[in-house]
Amino acid sequence: MNTTKTLLALMQTMKQSASVHDWHAVQKNDAQIATVLTALTGQKLDETELNMLGKLQQAHQQILHYCQNQRDILAEKMSHAVQHREGATAYAAFMSSEELG
């Protein structure tokens, strides 16, 4: 597989993984990108390869921001659940006592 096709495949895989919230696959793909970029170090790339490398970098940045945003949303949901756990527990206990009484 040539460099352009490899970079394109990595970009598409990362986009797909992020779109379905498959964070393990995103992490695995990120490691694959690092491996490929390390292998490309010092190689002379043609204009098409450089263009694809730029597209991969842009997509990687977008996905990084998306992942960070999803992390923040999850943290907010978890914080909300913790803050409301006491009330939910009290409500559940009240409902149970009403059913018994």
User: From CA 72, how far away is CA 74, in angstroms rounded?
Assistant: 5
Q: What angle do CA 44, 11, 57 make, to 5 degrees?
A: 60
Residue pair 45/3 in contact (Cβ under 8 Å)? The answer is yes
Report the chain's mean pLDDT, rounded to a whole number: 90
pLDDT value at residue 100: 57
Domain housing 17: 3-100
pTM of the predicted structure, to 2 decimals: 0.75
Residue pLDDT, tens place only, 41-90: 999 999 999 999 999 999 999 999 999 999 999 999 988 888 777 777 77
What pLDDT shows up at residue 81? 82
Count of domains observed in the chain = 1
For 6-52, the pLDDT digits (tens) are: 999 999 999 999 999 999 999 999 999 999 999 999 999 999 999 99
pLDDT of residue 97: 66
